[in-house]
Amino acid sequence: MGDNTPGGKIALDQRLARRLAGPLSRTPLTPNMVTAFNLVLGLAAGGLFAAGPPIHHWGAGLFALAMWSDHLDGEIARMTGRTSTFGHYFDHAAMMTTYLAMFVGAGIGLRQGWLGPWSMLLGLAAGLAVVTIFSIRMWLEVRDGLETVQQTVRGGFEIEDTLYVVAPVTWLGGLAPFVLAAGIGAPLFLIYVIWDAWRRRAPHAG
């Protein structure tokens, strides 16, 4: 994604992506090609999660890679002067698809565990909630401007970077509790996001 951080602060993963984007910007790769590649990575990660253990360990690695490389397209676009509205929203759509694939895939892959068939419902609930949250952010961005959805960087990380924990949690055998927590917590957070978006709407009413 782009640099959506206030005050010029840049998250650690974006700094690393910027280093790689320099050499890549001198190749025939376009930003949208990189976005499409990230989308393939995300879908592949979801498929590996759906296969269940132990294959989902590879899915966790691909998911983390997709999250990190999501910054590459924006960096390359800025370095080459090829930023575009389509590319910006294609990037958002690709990452939302990756999040949805991960949660749904994890839910399917865990169905033989202690969560039983509830894992699929929890994964779907978490995935749809996260996608809806990002969709609301996009709506606010279109309506009020990019600065209204800027994320604060603390300690080199943005709030969405918390999803990097999916990889170590999976490798350490904690994916089921994570999906349980996300399947409950993400919809609850969505309720707050809807309320906050409605609150921000007040000055525009009338």
Model pTM?
0.88
Which option is the CATH number for 6-200: 2.60.40.10, 1.20.120.1760, 3.60.110.10, 3.40.50.720? 1.20.120.1760
Q: How far apart are CA 17 and CA 73, in angstroms?
A: 9
Q: Domain segments of the chain: what residues?
A: 6-200
3 state SS of 154: strand
DSSP letter at 153 equals P
Least confident of 33-47, 114-128, 140-154: 140-154
End-to-end CA distance of the chain: 34
Q: Taking residues 22-39, what's their average pLDDT?
A: 94
What pLDDT, on a 0 to 100 scale, did the predictor assign at position 7?
44
Q: How far apart are CA 147 and CA 111, in angstroms?
A: 41
Q: Taking residues 132-148, what's their average pLDDT?
A: 82
Top-confidence residue, 204 or 194: 194
Is 95 a residue whose pLDDT tops 60?
Answer: yes
- Cβ count near 199 (within 10 Å): 9
Is 151 a residue whose pLDDT tops 90?
Answer: no
Quote the percentage of the chain above a pLDDT of 90: 72
Q: Taking residues 49-71, what's their average pLDDT?
A: 96
Quote the percentage of the chain above a pLDDT of 70: 87
Q: Taking residues 164-172, what's their average pLDDT?
A: 97
Is 4 a residue whose pLDDT tops 80?
Answer: no
pLDDT-derived band at 11, boundaries 50, 70, 90: confident
